Amino acid sequence: MHPPPTHRPRSTRLAAGLAATAAMILSVSVLVTLWVLGTSSAAMDRAQNAGQTHLVHAILKAHQNRIADAVADYTSWTELYQYLQGPRDPNWEEDSLGPYLKETFGMDDVFIVSRSGDFAYDFRVEGHSIAASAPAAAQTLRRLAQSAFSAKEAGRKKALSGVISLNGVPAMAAAFPILPSSQKGPAQFVLIEAKELGPAATDALGKVYGLSRLKIDSAEGPGIRLPDPLGRPSGFKIGWLGSASGRQLFAQVLPIILLIGGIAALALAGLAFAWWRFLNHVRNGEQRVQAAEMEAVRAQARAAEETSRSKSEFIANMSHELRTPLNAIIGFSELLRSETFGPLPNGKYREYVGDIHASGGHLLGLVNDILQLSKIEADKMQVRNEPVSLDDAVANAMRVVRILAAKRNIRIEIRHDTALPPIVADKIWLQQILLNLLSNAVKFSSEGGMVAVRCEQTAGHCTVRVSDQGCGIPPETLAQLGKPFVQAEGAFVRKYQGTGLGLAISFRLAELIGASLAIDSAEGVGTTATLTLRAARDAASTHAA
């Protein structure tokens, strides 16, 4: 007899099928989970590395712009230009050059190179002269100075800035010729400032922005190639330890997935958790990049504001110091000219005393203009707006200007509405604006010409138009009016002294009293200055609202 055939129960086959299906589903789930995690971690690493690269670019650009702006501001300092023309003073250099720039702006090296290639000033934080201790670095600085001369003569208005090698040490450097806007002709010296980027400095900078092992070297390999001041490869690159958050996340999650691989639901939960971690890491990386960019922008704004404030305070202090001896010169020359203590020997002495008195008065007026402009920029001007008669203000300004007009045989024609309402302004500053506009119109009119003054009332405003028939202003100069030390005389050779501060002060005073000033001109035809003021009743209704 044969034994009876054996059959596997249906439930066993179903269980085996379900087990096989579950095993297959679990296997597929694990594989899919591992694939998604690997792809996500790699994508996260790429995103974070891209963000870090963008951050490094922003940091380098911020440092480069900061040094370039500092050099450009310092080279326009008239006292530095004048100091290079005379004997050297170690105390002045201690207070104004290398040590001062080191303490104030964090510069490590400061050099002044002449057009002939000689080092007029050589300051290094390590104390050794670059010309004596590092001939190759000195030659690099000479080439940079010659490039700055050439760029300036070609019309470049910004400093050359980039990475150079100072005796094998990378440094962020900027160069610009020393020539104030008030001086004409070619510059004779170039100021070079440098911030050394040694291993300690770059590593500390990287830690501030969350970058690991940030360093600058000349080795080949991955990293950002750094340009020199002329935009060419400098031979240095900046590198850092790239982000490995994705790989770390993958290593953390993989053991958990293997331990709970028999439970598909927990595997899916692990995937969801990993995905959340991935998004959180990406979001945090983007926030760090945005925060670093915002901090760099704020640092630039603070540095620019501090530089502007320091410059205004310095000009104001120097103007105060100059007024005291100028008042003495004017007062004593006035006594000599009036012969209070006895007659002068002959006519030449009288002529010289008159020249001294006139020159002192002119220089005092210039100092007063600079001091007033500095006060306006420093927000230290006191303004008292009140109802003022426009007719009286124009008449008072005319009394002063008619003397200059009579000397040059210039006729002034005034026309205004019969009943002009009072306007709201500071009486003193309005008087100065009108006097500046009328003086310019008379000064730049052709001899025997005419200046027209029109006072009109519009809706809620009063306007004063001062027109002349002078040489006019070229379009390229007209766009620059209102900036300090910009003079507008058109195509003719200048015949009058001045600094271009009158219109700059007038534009700023007009803003302070709530008015507006506009200049229209055509070269060879003439110029019209339009001052728009608030009527008193319009200002009262605005104040009430």
Residue with tokens 């012969």: 339
Q: Cβ-count burial of 262 within 10 angstroms (0-12 exposed, 13-18 middle, 19+ buried)?
A: exposed
Is the distance from CB of 245 to CB of 281 less than 8 angstroms? yes
Query: Is 193 a domain residue?
Result: yes
Q: What angle do CA 111, 178, 90 make, to 5 degrees?
A: 50
CA 529, CA 441: separation in Å to the nearest integer? 9
The pair of structure tokens assigned to 444 is 């730049």
Q: Which of 195, 219, 245 is the last residue of a domain?
A: 245
Query: Is 291 a domain residue?
Result: no
CA 150, CA 228: separation in Å to the nearest integer? 16
- At 22, the amino acid letter reads A
CA 532, CA 423: separation in Å to the nearest integer? 10
Cβ atoms < 10 Å from Cβ of 545: 5
Query: Is 355 a domain residue?
Result: no
Q: Which of 245, 273, 298 is the last residue of a domain?
A: 245
Query: Is 380 a domain residue?
Result: no
Global pTM? 0.41
Specify the DSSP element, H or E, that contains 393: helix 390-407
Query: Is 300 a domain residue?
Result: no
Please list the pLDDT of the chain residue by residue as tens digits (545 residues): 444 444 445 545 555 566 677 677 867 777 777 777 777 777 776 777 777 788 888 888 888 888 888 888 888 888 888 888 888 888 888 888 888 888 888 888 899 999 998 898 888 877 777 877 788 888 999 999 999 999 888 888 888 999 988 888 898 899 999 988 777 778 889 999 998 888 887 888 777 777 777 888 876 667 788 898 888 888 888 887 766 666 666 676 767 877 776 665 566 556 656 766 766 777 787 888 888 888 888 888 887 777 666 666 666 666 666 667 767 777 767 777 777 777 777 767 767 777 776 676 666 666 666 666 666 666 667 788 899 888 888 888 888 888 888 888 888 888 877 778 898 998 888 888 888 888 888 888 888 888 999 998 888 888 999 998 888 888 777 777 766 655 554 434 345 555 567 777 888 888 888 888 888 888 878 889 899 999 887 544 444 43
Query: Which backbone phi and psi does 247 adopt, to 5 degrees?
Result: -65, -40
DSSP string, 345-392: SSHHHHHHHHHHHHHHHHHHHHHHHHHHHHHHHTT------EEE-HHH
Q: Which of 218, 245, 272 is the last residue of a domain?
A: 245
Q: Domain range holding 527?
A: 386-544
Give me the number of domains the chain comprises: 2
CA 474, CA 487: separation in Å to the nearest integer? 11
Query: Is 61 a domain residue?
Result: no
Residue with tokens 């004409």: 184
CA nearest neighbour of 453 among 516, 418, 411:
411
CATH for 418: 3.30.565.10
Is the distance from CB of 131 to CB of 119 less than 8 angstroms? yes
Is the distance from CB of 68 to CB of 161 less than 8 angstroms? yes
Q: Compute the CA torsion angle 324, 327, 331, 332 (nearest 10 deg).
A: 50
225 beta partners: 237
Q: For residue range 470-495, what is the model confidence (pLDDT) as tens digits?
A: 888 887 777 777 666 555 544 343 45
Q: What is the largest CA-CA distance in the chain?
A: 164
Query: Is 408 a domain residue?
Result: yes
CATH for 127: 3.30.450.20
Query: Is 268 a domain residue?
Result: no
116 in helix, strand or coil? coil
